[in-house]
Amino acid sequence: VTETPGSKDQALVADSFAFAFDIDGVLVRGGRAIPEAVEAMKVLNGDNKYGIKIPYIFLTNGGGKSEAERCGDLSRQLEVEIAPAQFICGHTPMSEMASKHNTVLVVGGEGEKCRTVAQSYGFKDVVTPGDIIKTDSATTPFRKLTPEELKNSKERDFSNVVIEAIFVFADSRDWAGDLQIILDLAMSKGGRIGTISETLDEGPPIYFSHNDVVWSAAHENVRLGMGALRGIVEYTFQTVTKGKTLKTHAFGKPQISTFEFATRLLKRWRKNEHNLNSPPNTVYFVGDTPESDIRGTNLFNEHAENDWYSILVKTGVYQEGTEPAYKPRVTVDTVLDAVNHGIEREM
Ligand code: G3P
Ligand code: MG
């Protein structure tokens, strides 16, 4: 524990450990806070028997809004101020690819939100499925754009446009239409809309912001997520091309690069917010999905300069009584137990 005179809070701050939290199934379900999560935030902010503040960040595979908007939602849900500087969502690391491509297709999310997010990341020319459907409504026979979508979508001459990459930013709101358009491009001559490649291997690269097949929402049972769409895209490509393989890419947990991104964020956050200059010995990662949270944390722990300690909770995807596919260092009931476990282990 260190006294940090230069920090904004002037309080005792834990310098040897930090927390990183998954969101869905750990802190929030279906837009509502899990009650213990509100309490856990208070504990982290000094309401504990040692009177210390503990640095923490958030690392969710979710997305579909700007980091600032998402933090606004989370601040209200968890009754504590949360800053974009302590937050990563599935598509945040995609920002590092903005300068690599000129025209890209951005898929998923509500209305125009993901186009706006992509533009804010610096993507120069962002096409949406709505633009393609507005330009040629025969693209998706059963999908008609709503008046709102018609207003926002941009009709354009695609004959000289090359879609250089496809980014699925957030969950699709129209799986069939988006599947058709992704597949058309995967089979196209180098990303030219309306063409079909003879070799079927020159489509643009396809990036998903994460690979969760299921996730924990308001329903009592898990719901289908972006990883399911990814599987359907690959399966359908193989079927339609009579056996060719489509290799797509995923960001998010459990990718090591996502945890590296999180490490850089945590370093900046601890320095700027808490005036801590050396890395913590231990980062406690609290998640509900063995395949992404626990797998990623354990894998990253093999490479990381510090100890990444995986904690599995029972409030989301993982179901008590089942054997998790990836083993956490510890399993607890809720995120509040996870925070208390970390503190007791340290103090
Ligand atoms: O779409 C969101 C979801 O798949 C997972 O979010 O917060 O559990 O990583 P989270
Ligand atoms: Mg989760």
pLDDT given at position 10? 59
Report pLDDT for 11: 73
Per-residue confidence band for 305, with pLDDT thresholds at 50, 70 and 90: very high
Q: Are residues 207 and 227 in the same domain?
A: yes
For the chain, helix, strand, coil in percent to 5 are: 40, 15, 45
Helix (H, G, I), strand (E, B) or coil at 105: strand
Q: Is pLDDT above 60 for 20?
A: yes
Per the structure, the count of domains in the chain is 2
| Residue 7 pLDDT exceeds 60 | no
Query: What is the C-alpha to C-alpha distance for residues 242 and 91, in angstroms, rounded to an integer?
Result: 32
Q: Which two tokens stand for residue 347?
A: 């103090």
Residues 205 and 142 in one domain: yes
Taking a C-beta distance cutoff of 8 angstroms, is the pair 312, 22 a contact? no
* Co-location of 341 and 273 in the same domain: yes
Q: What is the percent of the chain with per-residue pLDDT over 70, rounded to a whole number?
A: 97
End position of a domain, from candidates 233, 250, 267: 250
Say which ligand is closest to the CA of 210.
Answer: 1
Determine the distance separating the centroid of ligand 2 and the alpha carbon of 335, expressed in angstroms. Answer: 11
Residues 174 and 108 in one domain: yes
CATH number at residue 53: 3.40.50.1000
- Give the model's confidence band at 1: pLDDT under 50 very low, under 70 low, under 90 confident, else very high: confident
User: Are 44 and 176 in the same domain?
Assistant: no
The verdict on 141 and 225 lying in the same domain is yes
Mean pLDDT of the chain: 96
Domain boundary among 250, 272, 300: 250
The rounded distance, in Å, linking the Cα atoms of 78 and 114 is: 24
* Residue 343 alpha carbon to ligand 1 centre in Å: 25
Residue partners of 249: CB distance under 8 A and separation at least 6: 205, 206, 207, 208
Residue-wise pLDDT for 192-204, tens only, equals: 999 999 999 999 9
Ligand showing the shortest atom-to-Cα distance for residue 289: 2
- For 113-169, what is each residue's pLDDT tens digit? 999 999 999 999 999 999 999 999 999 999 999 999 999 999 999 999 999 999 999
The parent domain of residue 274 ranges over 2-90+253-346
CB 330 within 8 A of CB 341: yes
Do 268 and 240 lie in a common domain? no
Pick the residue whose CA is nearest to atom 3 on ligand 1.
Answer: 62
Mean pLDDT in residue range 281-299? 98
Mutate to test the pocket of ligand 1, among 21, 22, 24, 219 (most ligand atoms within 8 A of CB): 24
52 neighbors 12 (Cβ within 8 angstroms):
yes
Mean pLDDT confidence for 232-251: 98
- Do 51 and 131 belong together in one domain? no
CA of 309 to the centre of ligand 1 (A): 19
pLDDT at 6 over 90: no
Q: What's the predicted TM-score (pTM) here?
A: 0.95
Please report which helix (H) or strand (E) contains residue 273, including its range. helix 256-274
Among 216, 250, 284, where does a domain finish? 250
- How far apart (Å, rounded) are the C-alpha atoms in residues 28 and 217? 8
Residue type for position 116: T
Ligand 2: centre distance to CA 32 (Å):
14
Radius of gyration of the chain (CA): 21
**258 C-alpha to ligand 1 centroid (Å):** 14
Whether residues 34 and 131 fall in one domain: no
Do residue 243 and residue 113 come from a single domain? yes
Same-domain check for residues 108 and 71: no
High-pLDDT (> 90) share of the chain, %: 97
Q: Which residues contact 250 (CB under 8 A, 6 or more apart)?
A: 207, 208, 209, 210, 211, 227, 230
The set of protein residues with a Cβ atom below 6 angstroms from ligand 1 is 22-25, 60-62, 171, 210, 212, 215, 225, 289
Q: Say which residues have a Cβ less than 8 Å from residue 295's Cβ, sequence separation at least 6.
A: 253, 254, 325, 326
Pocket test for ligand 1, best of 214, 229, 289 (most atoms within 8 A of CB): 289
The answer to whether residues 56 and 18 touch, using CB atoms and an 8 Å cutoff, is yes
**The ligand 1 atom nearest the CA atom of 225:** 4
User: Per DSSP, what are the bridge partners of residue 12?
Assistant: 3
Phi, psi of 250 (to 5 degrees): -130, 140
Distance CA 53, CA 11 (A): 7
Shared-domain flag, residues 273 and 312: yes
